[in-house]
Chains A and B, each alone.
Chain A
Amino acid sequence: MSLSLFGCEDAQNPDDLNEQEFITTVELTFSPSTGDPLVFAWTDLEGDGAPVVDTVQLAELETYSLSVRFLNELEDPAEDITVEVAEESAQHQVFLTGDAVLGPATGAGTNPPLEHAYADQDAAGLPIGLSNDIDVIGPGGGDLVVTLRHLPPENDAATKVAGLAETVASDGFAAIPGDTDAQVTFPVSVQ
């Protein structure tokens, strides 16, 4: 008995990933001035509210260049969403916050072990945050929160403007426009 009299979609064949921008994984690559890069990941393949999170372990007084990647590992091979973020850099910005970091998007904090500076720019000269400089300024730990913000124009006016990181530092994410595409927390440990 064919019960689908009208239309071609079939109730028996669920299709739960249609036209999605799905992020399962946030990957941080810390490249020291010499030596092998260190890679830490936040991964949630099941979407079950229980992600697998690496602890970011860095060496004291080292300087790293940090690149941030966003992946959809439900695809095979994994889809690198970073490419699209880079292409639409005028509408995206990565923010680093949390008590383990001192940088443009944070307040002064109490002896955070990491210091952050943006190392890339979009066409308008605004930071993107896919490439960053991290100085390990002391021992300690805490949380590093990585946020990818989508800042599409509203009524044809750009919402990615200068000073967003500073606004986040003073008033939090609620004070800037846009949607949060990803916001994940890594524990940090500097020995």
Chain B
Amino acid sequence: MVSFRTAWLLLCLLLPGLALAQSDDDDSADPDDDAAQDTSDPEQHEHVDATVVVVAKRAADTDTRSRVEITETELERTTGQDVAEAISQVAGVTVARGSADSSKPVIRGQHERRLLVLFDGVRHESQKWGADHATEIDPFAAGAISVIKGASGVRYGPDAIGGVVLVEPPKLLSTPGVDGVLTLVGVSQGWRLAGAARLDFAPAKLPGFVVRVEGNYGRGSSLRAPDYVLGNTGSQVWNAGATLHYHRGGVHLTASYSHYDLRAGIFYGIASSTPAEFASRIEADTPVGADSWTVTPVIDRPYQSVSHDRVTLRGEFFLARAGTLTATYAFQHNHRQEFEQVRASVTGPQYDFTLRTHSLDVSFAHTSIPVGAATLRGGLGVSSSFQENVFAGIPLVPNHRALQAGVFGYERLSLPRLDLEIGARYDHQGRASFLSDSAFARHVGRGTLSADDCEDTGSAARCGLAFDTGSLSAGLLLHVVPDVIDLKVDLSSASRFPNGDELYMNGSAPTLPVYALGDPDLGPETTWGVSPTLGLRLPWLHAEVSAFFSYIDDYIYFAPELGPHGTPAFDVTVRGAFPRFGYRPVDSLFYGVDGGFTLGPAWPVSLRAGGSLVRGEELATGSPLLFTPADRLSGGVRVNPPHVGPLHDGYIELSGEYVFRQRHSNEAADLAPAPDGAFLLRAGIGAILHLPNENALHVGIEGNNLLNTRYREYTSLLRYYADEPGVEVRLRVRFEFHQHPRGRTLDDPSTVPDPDHHPDEPLPLRL
């Protein structure tokens, strides 16, 4: 839709005009304000660091998009849940559950394929296209998580169509000593037990060196829905990681390694079945065979075994008067094996995916430049990656090699009452897919590839593709009443290159009774979004409401294909006739609103409420897009008791969420009707016991679905097979200890850059 794009570009041009008009008004502003904003003193980078610390707490305020940060305290209360569940407390974020004990985030209706997850500033590269492929991020390694809602292509690169999840490790030690954290968590669902330890060490004899080692192990049995056990949903997970940091003068070097390892049973109920069988099972009250399923830690076929290794090398160079140069190299090795139910003679996995990604990102953030009454901050960068996908198994997706490179720049003009940010980015991807002879023959037979589209390498058909995309962003942050009311208006675009499954998949999908057919002619999809956000921060009321409107050009839509007479097309396989699903480029529109408020955040009793609404539709037909989250409303009351002796930060909370039935679903295209609405009750209680020598014991009990409500989540794959798990109670105990030979005060100025700060984050604005 050209007209929408044109309007979008016009708006982009209009924003700077607004800013200039506003800058005239600002001439009379208090000059002290300007001085306070001037952070152009690069003489001592400690000052820069101090700024960074302040800004890290304010990233949500300075971002021109709706951005929510989940602090360490809030994260702690989700101990025992995975990253997707932890961020689902953010309005506009929902969870898509896979085969059972694994989940993926959904932001403003966009699933993980259209989101970007960054761990420690590195794009998490995995087989995220699979509905049952959980995000391989260790929740114990997260110190804080930020959720950026809306397209963020300029800063973060391709895939950031729906938003970005930034997972940041806890800060490293800034003074000599030892810090440690031991966590134990028990979860009633699946009688899961997990233990985690983290040790930070900064030797006094080796100034500048900081070390971290961490690890955890957890094991759980099958989960239980209110009326039956979800057979074979036990899992076992362990993680290990180490970080070595050294800094001297303006040079900071960090090397880290982490390993993630998961072995998880796939729910017995997700058996391969014919469409007719599938349809009648949907109507059944209880999955077939549920009577014999037991709560056991034994993991049976089918199961998945997944590992993710990550090596990160980062150098940060604080250059006097110029700015900060950051270079990050990362290598990620994602290995996923899926073991189906097979005859005894077959021993190995039926699907084996290896994804290797090397990436190098270099960025430079210049120090602020005074421009009249304003300051200008910004930077530029290049990012590049080389990726190899190696697949073995039942024909599904081809191997590929992809080389990706991007260049971006952004500048932000800050006035006392207004910030304006603009950015641009260009990305290129070259990719070669290697199709087996049989896979290539199938595409040629179907007419989706012609014989001369690909070259014969002897062992495979090599099919080359190249894509180029551009992203633009313009953001306005208006301090309507400084520190009280902020108005943000963001125009951002982002693109996504088609994935291997969308281009070449040819076969029946392992988890759904459909025959999926890729389209090698697909191009990138690009979103053009507008999102106004209004924030209010009074001592007695915090509130934010954010609306969004995104047009997606050539949105790649996975939906049933129709035959010549408008009836569903079927493919006959040895396991029966399956409806054919294809990947079609359709222009689509997503819009909605999300937000919430907290009344009396510092009062002894505070109230909060929130909600989200998303609509996704195909433009040409107006028909709703599948798997768009249902509307939801939440509310809660929290008691914040005063400190009692050594007992601090106590809280008691009761909250609930009502998820409406998704009325805007396309039942003709879906395999099952949308599930009914449901009310879920949650509660939590916890406190911190301060012990001598700054040690502390954190204890809490949190619970989900306390009414043991039977429900199904519209965005989850599991909804086709069974109810979501029932009541869950989590007990967590966390012991923190500190040993600092020379003493340590909370006011120590940091000599280590805030690891939360990455060059791709918004720049500091104010001291």
Using a CB–CB cutoff of 8 Å, the interface residues on chain A facing chain B are 3-7, 9-24, 26, 42, 44, 46-51, 81, 84-85, 87-88, 150, 152, 154-155, 157, 159, 171-184
Contacts and interface: CB of A to CB of B under 8 A. Distances in A.
Nearest to B302: A179
Interface of B: 231-232, 268, 271-274, 276-281, 284, 288-289, 292-294, 296, 298, 300-301, 331, 333, 341-350, 352, 354, 356, 358, 386, 388-395, 398-401, 434-436, 438-439, 441-442, 445-446, 457, 459-460, 462, 507, 515, 571-576, 580
Given A14-B435, A18-B348, 7 more contacts: A11-B399, A12-B462, A13-B434, A14-B399, A47-B442, A154-B231, A183-B576
A157 B395 CA distance: 32
Contacts of B572: 44, 49-51
Nearest to A74: B438
B578 to A, nearest CB: 8
B346 A19 contact: yes
B761 to A, nearest CB: 29
The 7 closest A-B pairs by CB, nearest first: A49-B571, A19-B348, A174-B280, A157-B292, A177-B289, A18-B392, A14-B436
Nearest to A44: B574
Contacts of A179: 271-273, 341
A16 B391 CA distance: 8
A22 B574 CA distance: 9
B394 A46 contact: no
B442 A154 contact: no
Contacts of A46: 438, 441-442, 445
A19 B386 CA distance: 29
B272 A180 contact: yes
Contacts of B401: 3, 11
Nearest to B403: A3
Contacts of B342: 19, 21
Contacts of A22: 394
Given A5-B358, A174-B288, A15 B343 contact: no
Given A46-B438, A150-B341, A183-B575, A3 B394 contact: no
Contacts of B341: 150, 152, 179
Nearest to A155: B294
A47 B436 CA distance: 13
A49 B515 contact: yes
Contacts of B232: 154-155
Given A11-B389, A16-B436, A84-B343, A174 B276 contact: yes
A74 to B, nearest CB: 8
Contacts of A11: 388-390, 399-401, 434
A175 B280 CA distance: 8
30 contacts: A3-B401, A4-B356, A5-B356, A7-B356, A11-B390, A13-B399, A14-B436, A14-B459, A16-B392, A16-B393, A16-B438, A18-B352, A19-B350, A20-B346, A22-B394, A44-B572, A44-B573, A44-B574, A46-B445, A154-B289, A154-B293, A155-B232, A155-B296, A155-B300, A173-B277, A174-B278, A174-B279, A174-B281, A177-B268, A180-B575
Contacts of A9: 354, 390, 392
B575 to A, nearest CB: 5
Contacts of A88: 343-344
A178 B300 CA distance: 14
A24 B390 CA distance: 25
A184 to B, nearest CB: 6
Contacts of B395: 16-17, 47
Contact of A150 (B343, B400, B446, B580): B343
Contacts of A4: 356, 388
Contact of B399 (A12, A19, A81): A12
Nearest to B569: A49
B392 A15 contact: yes
A31 to B, nearest CB: 24
Q: Which of B276, B434, B438, B457 neighbours the largest number of chain A CB atoms within 10 Å of its CB?
A: B438
B221 to A, nearest CB: 11
A49 B356 CA distance: 33
Contacts of B268: 154, 177
B460 A13 contact: yes
Given A46-B445, A88-B344, A14 B573 contact: no
B576 A180 contact: yes
Contacts of A13: 399, 434, 459-460
Contacts of A51: 572, 574
Nearest to A25: B574
Contacts of B356: 4-7
Contacts of A17: 394-395
A90 to B, nearest CB: 11
Contacts of A19: 342, 346-350, 393
Q: Which of B278, B390, B395, B400 neighbours the largest number of chain A CB atoms within 10 Å of its CB?
A: B390
Contacts of B352: 18
A129 to B, nearest CB: 16
Nearest to B287: A177
A169 B304 CA distance: 34
Nearest to A20: B394
A3 B386 contact: yes
B245 to A, nearest CB: 24
A20 B393 contact: yes
B574 to A, nearest CB: 5
A9 B398 CA distance: 13
A148 B575 CA distance: 9
Contacts of B386: 3
Given A26-B574, A174-B281, A180-B273, A16 B439 contact: yes
Nearest to B577: A185
A54 B441 CA distance: 24
B459 A12 contact: yes
Given A16-B439, A154-B292, A180 B277 contact: yes
A175 B571 contact: no
B507 A47 contact: yes
Contacts of B231: 154-155
Given A49-B572, A157-B292, A174-B284, A12 B460 contact: yes
A182 B391 CA distance: 24
Nearest to B462: A12
A130 to B, nearest CB: 14
A5 B331 CA distance: 10
A7 B439 contact: no
A6 B387 CA distance: 11
Contacts of B435: 14
